[in-house]
Amino acid sequence: MSLDQNDIAKLARLARINIAATETEELSQRIGDILNMVDAMQAVDTTSVVPMANPHDAVQRLRADQVSENDQREHFQKIAPQTADGLYLVPQVID
């Protein structure tokens, strides 16, 4: 796919970048090469390819979901300056 100078100027305006007139030809060629590569990748048949999350067949080891600490809520709320209905009360900082 080839881009002309109007396409390059439009892309530059959308990206809010300044491209010199001397660079438009090279930039057009480079963007065209990228678009051709994307077209080639989209042409590949991937219907029999199984999606994967990791190319190394890595498995995430998870620990068992078990309680490992005692409930100390009552203890912590006893030493808090202010509490109400099991919640900590703090001064208002936003008007």
Spatial contact of 8 and 28, defined as CB atoms under 8 Å apart: yes
pLDDT for residue 95: 78
- Residue range 63-86: mean pLDDT, rounded: 92
- What's the confidence (pLDDT) of residue 70? 93
Q: Answer whether 19's CB lies under 8 Å from 12's CB.
A: yes
- The whole-model pTM stands at 0.49
Mean pLDDT along residues 53-64: 82
Residue 57 has pLDDT above 80, yes or no: no
Could you give the CA distance from residue 67 to residue 90 in angstroms, rounded to a whole number? 28
Q: What is the mean pLDDT of the chain?
A: 89
Mean pLDDT of 20-26: 88
Distance from C-alpha of 50 to C-alpha of 59, rounded to nearest angstrom: 16
